[in-house]
Structure 1
Amino acid sequence: MVNREFKGEEAGMRILVSGAGVAGLSAGIDLARAGHTVEIVERAGHLRINGSPIDVRGDSVGVVERMGLLDEVTGRSITMTEGAKFVDDNGDVIAPQPMSETNDSDDDIEIPREDLMRVLRKALPEEAQLRFEDSVRTLTDDGDQVTVVFESGREGRYDLVVGADGAHSNVRRQAFGPEREFSRHLGLYVAIGAAPEEAAPENTAHSVHILNLPGRMACIGRYRDQALAIFTFRSEEIEYDHHDLAAQKRILTDFYGEDRQWRIPQLLSAAQADPELYFDAIAQIHMPTWHRGRVVLIGDAAHCATPMAGRGTSLALTGAWLLTEALTRHDGDHTAAFTEYERRQRPYSDKAQESANGGADLMVPATWEDIERRNARLLPAR
């Protein structure tokens, strides 16, 4: 089905999308509906659905509506009626994190990551082919097309390549240069793992309880019948292979293995047992341009704002939509389309990256004194 939002009459292009996260699936939906032949490759063997609930905010709510998915998304939304709570060693609440500090408007939607991914996967048109367990090994842009050699040994030629493969984007590395040229470490790392023994089956709201130690945070996040063990800690950059799960778990143990407060031992044990543990630096991606030749970046690959901003999903949705809209408007002139897409998307990404500033001081204070000052600021006046 061609989306009536896109009215271009040009012959559709053959487009490769690298990455099947929110950005990649959204691009696949939008581009295929606009009449292009789309192939999506994903390094993992399945959709990556692990992680904490995510937000659809601001203009991205309208994008979801124009995609025809708003009813499905809102129907799977969860509520966070109490906001996050900071607790002491006994689990007693000592300070709140008001919802007003995290939401943009009453129209914002919070949804489990796995639910949004499944909605997008279901909406992917037949014209968009999704391949798992494959990724880009090399790409060569000769001006007319891009030749891609995949890790599987396959080779293909495409009119455009869309890098939607996250903050550690392989497409970005191939087309623009090493990650270190664009990554800006914010001094934090985060780990998120399933904690089924902490789940409350009767729970229908999303709740978050946070214990702070100097430079470290441990958290239980609950929604529906699910629970997550979440850790965030301060650190300079750590050298490790971000595909090496065992190495990531060792780092997590190095920072929390001696902590016996509250539920930390149980949460750490749950995280260590999770084969899908998410672990990464909290780092932003800053680039002077998101396109080069016939290659363009969207989502975290172009402008990761970090989870501290809470806007990665929204940026992925708007970026895929604006890119598709620009390609349609410019009738196959990819250079003009990429320029327009970037001009319209960059204000959103700049705002999101700016919003992450100060998040570490709120969520992961560096000292006991900083923790006490934060708690005092959040407590209502008496």
Structure 2
Amino acid sequence: MNILVSGAGVAGLSLGRDLGMRGHSVTIVERADQLRGNGSPIDVRGDAIDVAQKMGLLSAIRDARIRMTEQVHFVDENGTAVGRLPDDIGDSPDDIEIAREDLARILADALPVTVALRLGESIESVAERDDRVDVGFASGGSEGFDLVLGADGMHSAVRRLVFGPEQNWIRHLGLYVAIADMPGEADAEAERINPMYNSPGLLAGIARFKDRAIGLLMFLSDPVDYDYRDVEAQKNLLFDHFEGCGWKIPAILDAVRADPHLYFDSVSQIHLPTWHRGRFALVGDAAHCASPLAGRGTSLALTGAQFLAEELERSGDDYATAFARYEARQRPYVEFAQGTVAGGGALLVPPTREAIASRNQLLQPVGAGG
């Protein structure tokens, strides 16, 4: 079949690989003019490791492994460590932490010749016919496809066009998160320790991995009305919440000011009653974002892409059956992941000084454990 995939994140690139290797002609469109490289490292865990093995990419993923979260220390305003996360916060020792840009590169390099990747392009309109979907693009062109798959993240354009407004499906978890590049910290001659600092309702941190450093900011908040593409408005929200705070927050805010590719978003989940309609289906965060608190978005993207490609192969042209079977296989993984976030926000961003002190008592002493 001739298949259009919206989004070139992990879900979209995985779909391209899995579908292209099964003989489909695939076009991936990505709004950005480059593959996403900003943001914090991500995890491949659980059955997603077996998926990576089936794709023939596990060795390359393991070769790019980093170990950032094993070095997270919570600190006080003077930078003195007060504890670290327990050793058993991950699923198992087999979990693989990897820089987002490295996984994107591995997946993009593995795309077969039957897959076309178009950067700087996005879907503007869709019209389903009896035998195809007519798609209008932001560039002004239009094409017909047998299927359209939305792998375009929590703010999915495909989901909006097919299933309706985002507010119908989003469940805010009470937090916002921002990540900014901090090149001045990347070459610091210091231990590879990633400090995290809390003030009531706020978290700030610096994380170093490979040759990079990023500043992390999180704050508690009810839903805020803002344009998720307006970077300057996002920066102003961060200044409003963090201006005047101590520790290294002024340096992180300087990095926010300087970063034209700042990552900022709500910590939210997507809950849909179904992920497919007609010739459309959703994969990854577009279908079922579990939020960064779950730490399983990458793994869900990998399993979902593989399940969908396998079911299309088994069902032939019967895409409706394939979509239903894909959803039945993926749902248990999603329900588990979305159910793991309870208490995660309070652990990372306690709302009061008393809650911070109580959380610190639960932390593992620095230097303890393996």
For the criterion TM > 0.5, the same-fold answer is yes
Question: Residues of 2 paired with 1:195 and 1:245: CA distance?
Answer: 17
| Cα distance change, pair 27–204 in 1 and its aligned pair in 2 (3 A) | farther
| Residues 157-213 of structure 1: CA deviation (Å, up to 9, x unaligned) | 1110000000000000000010000000111000001111122466796x4211000
Q: 1:305 aligns with which of 267, 290, 306?
A: 290
Offset at residue 96 of structure 1 (A): 1.2
Identify the residue that residue 68 of structure 1 maps to in structure 2.
Answer: 56
Alignment of 1:332 onto 2:317: yes
Percent identity between matched residues is 53
Identify the residue that residue 152 of structure 2 maps to in structure 1.
Answer: 165
3-state secondary structure, aligned to 1:361: helix
Question: Residues of 2 paired with 1:371 and 1:293: CA distance?
Answer: 49
| Residues 281-304 of structure 1: CA deviation (Å, up to 9, x unaligned) | 111000000000000000000000
Identify the residue that residue 234 of structure 1 maps to in structure 2.
Answer: 220
Alignment of 1:353 onto 2:341: no
Alignment of 1:251 onto 2:215: no
Question: Residues of 2 paired with 1:99 and 1:59: CA distance?
Answer: 21
Which residues of structure 1 form unaligned runs of 5+? Answer: 1-12
Identify the residue that residue 352 of structure 2 maps to in structure 1.
Answer: 367
Identify the residue that residue 29 of structure 2 maps to in structure 1.
Answer: 41
> Partner letter of residue 176 of structure 1?
F
Question: Residues of 2 paired with 1:276 and 1:73: CA distance?
Answer: 25
| Residues 8-66 of structure 1: CA deviation (Å, up to 9, x unaligned) | xxxxx000000000100000011011100000001111111101111000000111111
Identify the residue that residue 199 of structure 2 maps to in structure 1.
Answer: 213
Which residues of structure 2 form unaligned runs of 5+? Answer: none
Question: Residues of 2 paired with 1:132 and 1:95: CA distance?
Answer: 43
Offset at residue 335 of structure 1 (A): 0.5
The 5 Å alignment of 1:103-118 reads: 103-118=90-105
Question: Residues of 1 paired with 2:323 and 2:147: CA distance?
Answer: 11
| Residues 75-132 of structure 1: CA deviation (Å, up to 9, x unaligned) | 010124744211001111012112311x111111001111111111111111100111
Offset at residue 224 of structure 1 (A): 2.1
Equivalences, count: 367
| Cα distance change, pair 280–162 in 1 and its aligned pair in 2 (3 A) | same
Determine if contact 1:41/1:131 at 8 Å carries over to the other structure: yes
Determine if contact 2:85/2:364 at 8 Å carries over to the other structure: no
| Cα distance change, pair 287–233 in 1 and its aligned pair in 2 (3 A) | same
Determine if contact 1:202/1:224 at 8 Å carries over to the other structure: no
Identify the residue that residue 303 of structure 2 maps to in structure 1.
Answer: 318
> Partner letter of residue 215 of structure 2?
A
Identify the residue that residue 7 of structure 1 maps to in structure 2.
Answer: none
Q: 1:191 aligns with which of 178, 191, 194?
A: 178
Question: Residues of 1 paired with 2:223 and 2:37: CA distance?
Answer: 26
Q: 1:98 aligns with which of 42, 61, 86?
A: 86
Determine if contact 2:76/2:82 at 8 Å carries over to the other structure: yes
3-state secondary structure, aligned to 2:236: helix
| Cα distance change, pair 35–202 in 1 and its aligned pair in 2 (3 A) | farther
Offset at residue 332 of structure 1 (A): 1.9
Question: Residues of 2 paired with 1:204 and 1:85: CA distance?
Answer: 12
Identify the residue that residue 28 of structure 1 maps to in structure 2.
Answer: 16
Identify the residue that residue 120 of structure 1 maps to in structure 2.
Answer: 107
Question: Residues of 2 paired with 1:137 and 1:190: CA distance?
Answer: 28
Identify the residue that residue 377 of structure 1 maps to in structure 2.
Answer: 362
3-state secondary structure, aligned to 2:40: coil
Identify the residue that residue 270 of structure 2 maps to in structure 1.
Answer: 285
RMSD of aligned residue pairs (Cα, Å) = 1.6
3-state secondary structure, aligned to 2:14: helix
3-state secondary structure, aligned to 1:355: coil
3-state secondary structure, aligned to 2:38: coil
3-state secondary structure, aligned to 1:280: strand
Determine if contact 1:203/1:224 at 8 Å carries over to the other structure: no
Runs of 4+ in 1 over 3 A off after TM superposition: 80-83, 200-205
| Cα distance change, pair 119–203 in 1 and its aligned pair in 2 (3 A) | farther
Determine if contact 1:183/1:285 at 8 Å carries over to the other structure: yes
Alignment of 1:265 onto 2:250: yes
